[in-house]
A and B are shown apart, each in its own frame.
Chain A
Amino acid sequence: MGMTTQNLPDRLRHRVKRLGEMIGLGVKLASPDGERIFSLVEQFRRQAEPSGLDQLVGEMRDLDAGTRMQLSRAYGGFADLSNAAEDSYRIESIRSKADPHGLGSLFESHGNDGALFDALLKLKVVLVFTAHPTESKDVGHRQLVCELASRLAGDGGDLDQDQNLRSMAQELLLLERMPDSSKNVSQEIAEVVSDFRNMIPAILKIAAVLRQKLLSLGESLGRTVPAQYRPIRLALWPGVDADGNDRVTPPFFAETVKSLRAGYSRLIWSGSNSSSRVMPIPTTACR
């Protein structure tokens, strides 16, 4: 399977092509009639034109449910990996370019501006993440996609030789994305909290930049800066039974508060004790 366009950069195009090859391999490995499924995947992809949908439907009509399931997993898996590759490429682009919407350009254009100092003093950004227990379901799938995309980034991973990579490709095609009813509230919330792990260093980094600017402006303008400065905060929105998730009952709310505190404490403690002295942050696009 391949996804090419004239306007896509070569590096991204190369990665997506490799991911397509990997999905193709996964399709062949995932079932005894993998070769047949793979040829159908290729056939339908080539045939898919907006004006020819009737013909496509005609050719698909007699496919059994098992074949349709394998086809949809192949295309869906390719979409997952392509998205991860695009995100990964975007991160690399972000690293290499200055941002006209960022703080650097704002600070540059406002110099020692008293208005900027006042705005910095007032700054309070609160991002309210929904934290429904059901959102923890997809974690296993996302991690697999993330790892696969990461392994295939650049020139890493040899599809023909790497047995582990082949197994992962196969697993992606077989993974069931069903609710896991075995988890309790604490486990679900802990997963949602761990989802925030990349937010902690990001917030600390931006808060430090903002505070530094505030201090330097305060010094040059002769203005006082408060000892405590928390410009960016996080909140959670677990919803409530009648207007949200049936499971978000009053006791659930109390459990959320407790789980949040415990999950977060474990996060920051493990971060400070890790050998690298920083949080273990994945370097790819996925969490």
Chain B
Amino acid sequence: MIRDRLQGTINNSGDAFASADEFLAELRALVELGQDGVEWLVAAVEQFGFHLAYPHARQHAKVYEASISAALAEAFPDSPSYSSLDERDRVELLMRLLGQQQAWRMLPSDNPEVERFRIMRECNQRSPGTANTIIIAGNRGASDFLAVLIHALRAGWSAADGLQIVPLSETVDDLQSFVQTIDTILDLRLEAFLGPLMVGYSDSGKLDGVIAARVAIYRCLVDLAAMFKRRGIRRPLYHGSGGSPGRAGEEIHLRISTEPRGVVDGCYINTIQGEARQPFRDADIAVRSLERISAAVLRATMPNGQVVELDQAWDALAHHTGTAYTQLVRSPRFTEFLRQFIPAEVLREFGRRISSRPMARIRTSLSVDNLRAIPWNFGWIITRLSVPVWYGLGTAWQVLDAETKEAIRRSYRQGQPFAVNLVNLIEKVLGTTVPGIAKMFGQMWVEDRELVDLFLTPILDELEKAKAAILDIRGSEAILDNNQRLRESIQVRNRYAAVLACLLAITVQKWRQLEVATVLDEKQHQKEIETEMNVAVTITQGIAQFVRCHG
């Protein structure tokens, strides 16, 4: 009978349970009657209720901006376009609209984003709290938050429904103004709709380089902690990290231990993507991972007498590193180089088969802005350079003065958690680089030799400078000399990955030649192209397995 009622609850039919508590009461009654084997089920329902997991929707801020812009143009054709307004005017306009229920109706009821909120609301009404969270990617200001809120209100959401809008800040510029954005939202007295605050490691690392991004996130968290204190409020932090080093893929408990004081207050939300799923796939490792994360959150929450703050010298390092990195990836011909140097066609096909999302936001462009963070990092991993993690460090180290450099070395020596974690991460990545493979790809794939001279040669020079900088910071003689087992493991894996890299170099070259070849038998030609692509994707999968990373 309980099983039938459970089925009815799933299907929303028949004699469904009104709540998980009702289900629990029946199970407990069975336990009291001496029914064997129900304890596990009781424990599961106590912990999870009817829902093992709650889906968090996610949409890009630009979608809502475009939607509002189109609706306003339709309703007020003579007014200046919404997209031409500055942030302040946008906020003022949207606040006016927010106060007039009639104005929300300018959004048509079949607007896809209104439809999304309507469906979320239906799910949430049936089981409160199950579908009330939406993440706004690329949130740049309070106006983005307001644009989302208007769509939600149009779909019938109200403050009482518990809607949680999660602004996601994911570029260095946006991280630097994130506190101001949140302050504005709170000044507008919209805290009822403000959910956890999310910081993104992927796009920030892609656009500004990992070192600049990680320091910017750290400083952003410090500022948020100060704002929480000043306003007497709390919001959980939501960390959007991925599986590769370029997307903060280190073990989560290590990253928690690096958070500034006052940020982690009992709550920690973190995305688990790609290779980051690995610590949860086996029951024993999952127990150990959960234990470490829980312990790290508890440690970060309890008062701690000895706090070593991150020295300001790191901001100077981040600035110079970020400048060098952005100069590289935004150079006029860099996209042209990238298109030939990373096996873009293979990554696109690989992504279609394996990955969760299209490779680029706009499919024809491979610029740093357009290419998604996962293929961006994976592309650099395949070329065995992992540029986003370390590029610019060598140049920065040459620019910094002696005092600043000593402050950075001191942070590491004294065990400042953020400094130690970041230096160790960079060193590990430097230990996996294989310049010989990168040179081979450059030689075989980049037809314009000028592009090699312009980009690959300086990248390889910078790699050596970055290694020297890390050794200087750590006061050491050789990369990974403090972890011989890891060093040997990388060397052995690299041997196999090198064979696959050679196979990839040849296969991509053949594929590209076929793509531009003039043929008589088009059908046969297409078959050959498909065959070569199939081989290339299989090789790429093999390389990813050897380096244990898909980006």
Q: Does A237 contact B58, Cβ atoms closer than 8 Å?
A: yes
Chain B 495-512 interface residues, beta-carbon cutoff 8 Å to A? 495-496, 498-503, 505-507, 510
CA distance A286 to B301 in the complex (A): 33
Which residue, A65, A177, A278, has most C-beta atoms of chain B within 10 A? A65
Q: Is B272 engaged at the interface, CB distance under 8 Å to the other chain?
A: yes
Residues of B within 8 A of A281 (CB): 283
Closest Cβ of chain A to B517, distance in Å, is 15
Chain A interface extent, by class: 35 or more
CB closest chain-A residue, reference B242: A130
Q: Does A57 contact B283, Cβ atoms closer than 8 Å?
A: no
Q: Is B286 engaged at the interface, CB distance under 8 Å to the other chain?
A: yes
Q: B-side binding surface: helix, strand, loop or mixed?
A: helix
Q: Does B499 contact A237, Cβ atoms closer than 8 Å?
A: no
Chain A 105-134 interface residues, beta-carbon cutoff 8 Å to B? 105-106, 110, 113, 115-116, 118-132, 134
Question: Contacting B43 at CB < 8 Å: which of A80, A130, A138, A204?
Answer: A204
Residues of B within 8 A of A151 (CB): none
Chain B 331-367 interface residues, beta-carbon cutoff 8 Å to A? 352-358
Q: Does A101 contact B492, Cβ atoms closer than 8 Å?
A: no
Number of cross-chain contacts by CB at 8 Å: 379
Closest Cβ of chain A to B296, distance in Å, is 7
Residues of B within 8 A of A87 (CB): 278, 282, 285
Residues of A within 8 A of B57 (CB): 238, 240, 253
Closest Cβ of chain B to A147, distance in Å, is 14
Stretch at the interface among A31-39, A161-169, A206-214, A218-226: A206-214
Q: Does B291 contact A72, Cβ atoms closer than 8 Å?
A: no
Residues of A within 8 A of B36 (CB): 277
Closest Cβ of chain B to A66, distance in Å, is 8
Closest Cβ of chain B to A68, distance in Å, is 5
When A80-B545, A287-B282 are in contact, do A244 and B357 touch as well, CB less than 8 Å?
yes
CA distance A287 to B280 in the complex (A): 9
Closest Cβ of chain B to A278, distance in Å, is 6
Q: Does A253 contact B436, Cβ atoms closer than 8 Å?
A: no
Q: Does A119 contact B272, Cβ atoms closer than 8 Å?
A: no
When A126-B268, A204-B47, A206-B290 are in contact, do A57 and B444 touch as well, CB less than 8 Å?
yes
Residues of A within 8 A of B293 (CB): 125, 127
Chain A 30-65 interface residues, beta-carbon cutoff 8 Å to B? 44-45, 48-51, 53-54, 56-57, 60-61, 63, 65
Q: Does B302 contact A115, Cβ atoms closer than 8 Å?
A: yes
Q: Is A215 engaged at the interface, CB distance under 8 Å to the other chain?
A: no
Closest Cβ of chain B to A222, distance in Å, is 20
Question: Contacting B282 at CB < 8 Å: which of A131, A273, A286?
Answer: A286
Residues of A within 8 A of B287 (CB): 202, 205-206
Q: Does A262 contact B10, Cβ atoms closer than 8 Å?
A: yes
When A129-B272, A261-B51, A262-B10 are in contact, do A79 and B542 touch as well, CB less than 8 Å?
yes
CA distance A7 to B63 in the complex (A): 53
CA distance A110 to B58 in the complex (A): 40
Q: Is B116 engaged at the interface, CB distance under 8 Å to the other chain?
A: yes
Residues of B within 8 A of A95 (CB): 284
CA distance A113 to B269 in the complex (A): 25
CA distance A83 to B291 in the complex (A): 23
CA distance A192 to B495 in the complex (A): 34
CB closest chain-B residue, reference A189: B55
Residues of A within 8 A of B292 (CB): 99, 101-102
Closest Cβ of chain B to A8, distance in Å, is 7
Residues of B within 8 A of A71 (CB): 499, 503
Chain B interface extent, by class: 35 or more
Q: Mark B476-506, 1 if CB is under 8 A from A, else 0.
A: 0000000011001101111110111111011
Chain B 243-264 interface residues, beta-carbon cutoff 8 Å to A? 253
Closest Cβ of chain A to B431, distance in Å, is 14
Residues of B within 8 A of A90 (CB): 285
When A124-B267, A261-B50 are in contact, do A45 and B496 touch as well, CB less than 8 Å?
yes
When A71-B503, A115-B302, A253-B131 are in contact, do A210 and B294 touch as well, CB less than 8 Å?
yes
Chain B 16-49 interface residues, beta-carbon cutoff 8 Å to A? 36-41, 43-48
Residues of A within 8 A of B499 (CB): 44-45, 48, 56, 71, 75
Q: Does B266 contact A122, Cβ atoms closer than 8 Å?
A: yes
Q: Does A53 contact B538, Cβ atoms closer than 8 Å?
A: no
When A7-B485, A50-B494 are in contact, do A72 and B282 touch as well, CB less than 8 Å?
no
Closest Cβ of chain A to B420, distance in Å, is 15
CA distance A219 to B358 in the complex (A): 54
Residues of A within 8 A of B505 (CB): 57
Q: Does B354 contact A138, Cβ atoms closer than 8 Å?
A: yes
Q: Does A127 contact B51, Cβ atoms closer than 8 Å?
A: no
Question: Contacting B116 at CB < 8 Å: which of A207, A228, A240, A262?
Answer: A240
When A198-B281, A235-B53, A242-B63 are in contact, do A72 and B253 touch as well, CB less than 8 Å?
no
Q: Is B429 engaged at the interface, CB distance under 8 Å to the other chain?
A: no
Q: Does B440 contact A132, Cβ atoms closer than 8 Å?
A: no
Q: Is A29 engaged at the interface, CB distance under 8 Å to the other chain?
A: no
Q: Does B54 contact A69, Cβ atoms closer than 8 Å?
A: no
Chain B 190-221 interface residues, beta-carbon cutoff 8 Å to A? none
CA distance A126 to B236 in the complex (A): 10
When A48-B496, A48-B499, A267-B52 are in contact, do A273 and B37 touch as well, CB less than 8 Å?
yes
When A206-B294, A240-B58 are in contact, do A125 and B268 touch as well, CB less than 8 Å?
yes
- The chain B residues found within 8 Å of chain A, CB to CB, are 3, 6-7, 9-10, 36-41, 43-48, 50-60, 62-63, 112, 115-116, 118-120, 122-123, 127, 130-131, 133, 135, 137-138, 236, 238, 253, 265-274, 277-278, 280-288, 290-299, 301-303, 352-358, 434, 436-437, 440, 444, 484-485, 488-489, 491-496, 498-503, 505-507, 510, 528, 531-532, 534-535, 538-539, 541-542, 545-546, 548
Q: Could you name 18 residue pairs across A and B whose Cβ atoms are closer than 8 Å?
A: A48-B502, A50-B498, A126-B236, A127-B270, A129-B271, A177-B541, A179-B352, A196-B53, A198-B282, A236-B54, A246-B358, A250-B116, A250-B118, A253-B131, A265-B6, A268-B44, A271-B41, A287-B282
Shortest 5 CB-CB distances between A and B: which pairs?
A122-B266, A76-B542, A132-B356, A79-B545, A202-B286
- The chain A residues found within 8 Å of chain B, CB to CB, are 3-8, 44-45, 48-51, 53-54, 56-57, 60-61, 63, 65, 68-69, 71-73, 75-76, 78-80, 83, 87, 90-91, 94-95, 99, 101-103, 105-106, 110, 113, 115-116, 118-132, 134-135, 137-138, 177-179, 193, 195-196, 198-210, 228, 230-240, 242-246, 249-251, 253-254, 256-258, 260-265, 267-269, 271-273, 277-279, 281-282, 284-287
- Sample of 15 more A-B contacts, CB < 8 Å, known A125-B267, A277-B36: A51-B436, A56-B499, A57-B506, A79-B496, A80-B545, A99-B291, A101-B295, A124-B266, A128-B270, A134-B354, A177-B538, A196-B52, A232-B294, A257-B131, A265-B9
